[in-house]
Amino acid sequence: MINFTGQFNLKTDVCCGDKSIAHRALILGSLAHGTSVIRNVTPSKDVISTANCLRALGADITFSGTTVTVEPITKLPKKTVTLDCGNSATTARLLAGVVAGLGVKARFVGDESLTKRPMQRVIEPLTAMGAKFVLKRNCLFELRASKLHGATINASVNSAQVKSAVLLAGLFVEETTRYVEQLPTRNHTELMLRSLGANIDVCGNQITVCKSVLRPLDIDIPNDTSSVAFGVALAVAKGVKATFPSVLLNETRLGFYRVLQRSGADISFDNVREVGGERAGDIVVNGTGDTSVLKPIIATAQDVIDCIDEVTLLATLALTVEGEHKFSNVCELQHKECNRIQAIQHIAEQCSQQAIFDGKDLTVISNGKLPKNRYFTSFDDHRIAMCEAILSISVGGGSIDKAPFNISFPQFLFMLGISPKRFGLIGENVSDSKSPRLMAHLASQAGICCSYDTVNLPRDISDDKLLEVISAFDGLNVTMPFKNRVATLLNAQCPTVNTVGRNIEPQSTDGYGIMQSLQSHAIDIHNKSLWIVGAGGAAEACIRELVGRGCKLQILNRTKSHAVRLCDKYGISGEVSNPEGILSFVPPCQFEERLPFPGSVKFVLVADYKGYSNLRTVALECELPVIDGLEMLYHQGAKSFALWTDTPVQCECRDFLEIIDKDTVQ
> What CA–CA distance (Å, rounded) separates 286 from 244?
12
> What CA–CA distance (Å, rounded) separates 444 from 649?
14
- What is the dihedral sign for C-alpha 555, 561, 567, 570? negative
**309 catalytically annotated:** yes
Bridge partners (DSSP) listed for residue 283: 244, 269
Bridge partners (DSSP) listed for residue 638: none
> What CA–CA distance (Å, rounded) separates 455 from 610?
19
CB 67 within 8 A of CB 73: no
CB 409 within 8 A of CB 313: no
Residues counted in the chain: 666
Pairing mode, strands 354-357 and 323-327: unpaired
Given 18, 224, 309, 608, which residue is catalytic? 309
Q: What is the CA radius of gyration of the chain?
A: 29
With a CB cutoff of 8 Å and minimum separation 6, the contacts of 290 are 239
CB 298 within 8 A of CB 326: yes
Determine the number of helices (DSSP H) and then strands (DSSP E) in the chain.
24, 32
DSSP-derived secondary structure letter, 644? H
DSSP-derived secondary structure letter, 293? G
Helix (H) or strand (E) holding 542: helix 537-547
Strand, coil or helix: what is 341?
Answer: helix
User: Catalytic amino acids?
Assistant: 309
